[in-house]
Structure formats: structure tokens, C-alpha cells
Amino acid sequence: MAIKKVLNILKRLDKVDTRSLFGHYSSKYVWQQISEMNARRVGWKQKDEIIAEQMQDELNRFYSTLSKLKKQGFIKKINNDRRSFWCLTQAGLKKWLFLNSVKNKNLIPMKSASLEKEHLKVIVFDIPESRKNYRDWLRQTLINFGFRKLQKSVWIGNPKLTEDFLFKLKEYNLVNYIHIFSVKDLGTII
């Protein structure tokens, strides 16, 4: 995510001059990305022209990201003499904190502590897209516990659900999105 990377750079450096970001390293990096086959394919251009075009494309993408962040109020531009510096605003700092918060990092799926089996359970959930990382956490945890998928959001199995698992559901505010059914008598209606 480009936004997170730019905010991380500005948070660490306090402020940064864009020329310092795109020096010798950038042209070397860009040329490494161009394969010899690509250079031969557009053989009517000199190597230096290809490097310049690729570097300009990279700069345009970077400045586009800076422009979007400025419009959103996350960064501001400070002009000093002939140089321009970019730095975080208060809103940018809040966004940076949000992007780097523990809840937005990859959640570690739980592992089953015991192999105890109980009666059959059906777990049905409908977690919104905005909480996708929690949905992925739940799916991986259910796999680790030994449940199997009937549909994307319907899982079945007979492992014992631990108190830690139920506590995590409450901690992550997932209780309203999950239904756990216990099936004591197996069989069919017919």
C-alpha cells in the first residue's frame, strides 16, 4: 500500500525533500526493472531514453500519491527557498497510527489446545467486508480447530470450542456476526 509507505517515511523522517527520494538509486532501480528483452523490443530508443521515461512514470505515480494524500489532508507541503518539503499533518499522524495499529495488522489465528471432541457444531457467520481481516482470522482459526467448510461462511465440525476462542470473538466484536448451533441428534428428517 503506497499510502502506508509514504506515511511511514514521513513519520520516521519528520519531513523529506522529494529530490532526496529520487536520486541515483531511483534510476538504478528503474533500469533493473527493465529486462533486456523489453529494451530490445523498443530498440529504436536509446537506453538513456528508456531510463528517463521509466523514471518519469515512477515520479508521476509518486507525485500522484502525494497529491492524493495532500487532498485528504494527511500531508502538507512546505516551500523553503528552492526546495519543497513534505510533512505529516495531525490527520496524517492519526491515519498513520490507524494503519499501524495492532488491530489492522495480520491477526494470528488460534491453534487448538486440545483434541477433545464434542457434539457436532455448525458455525454460520456474515462478517462485513470492512472487517475482512477478522473474517480471514476466523476462517483460519476454524481450520486450525478442525472444522470443515460447507460454504464460504458455513462451517461444521465437532471439536470443543475453547473459552479463549469465545473470548476472542467478544474482544474482536464479532459476536453479532456469528451464530453457533449445536447438533446433538444426528440424522435426517426423511
Shared domain for 91 and 145, answered yes or no, is: no
Do the domain assignments include residue 8? yes
Mean pLDDT of the chain: 77
Taking residues 47-53, report their average pLDDT.
Answer: 75
Q: Which amino acid is at 76?
A: K
Q: Strand, coil or helix: what is 75? A: strand
Among the candidates 70, 102, 134, a domain finishes at 102
Convert the pLDDT of each residue in 104-140 to its tens digit.
556 777 777 667 787 889 999 999 888 888 888 898 8
The CATH number of residue 126's host domain is: 3.30.70.240
Shared domain for 123 and 87, answered yes or no, is: no
Shared domain for 20 and 71, answered yes or no, is: yes
What is the number of structural domains in the chain?
2
CB 89 within 8 A of CB 75: yes
Shared domain for 96 and 121, answered yes or no, is: no
Shared domain for 36 and 82, answered yes or no, is: yes
Shared domain for 130 and 172, answered yes or no, is: yes
Convert the pLDDT of each residue in 61-85 to its tens digit.
888 888 888 898 888 888 877 777 8
- What is the value of pTM for the model shown? 0.46
Q: Whole-angstrom Cα distance, residue 185 to residue 47?
A: 74
CB 89 within 8 A of CB 98: no
Residue with the three cell numbers 462451517? 155
Shared domain for 148 and 97, answered yes or no, is: no
pLDDT above 50 (res 25): no
Shared domain for 95 and 136, answered yes or no, is: no
Q: How far is CA 63 from the centre of its chain?
A: 22
Do the domain assignments include residue 29? yes
Shared domain for 10 and 94, answered yes or no, is: yes
Give 4's pLDDT tier (boundaries 50, 70, 90): confident
Do the domain assignments include residue 96? yes
Do the domain assignments include residue 110? no
Shared domain for 96 and 123, answered yes or no, is: no
CB 178 within 8 A of CB 169: yes
Q: Strand, coil or helix: what is 17? A: strand
Do the domain assignments include residue 190? no
> Residue 149: which domain range?
117-183
The CATH number of residue 92's host domain is: 1.10.10.10
Q: How far is CA 120 from the centre of its chain?
A: 34
Shared domain for 152 and 177, answered yes or no, is: yes
pLDDT above 90 (res 45): no
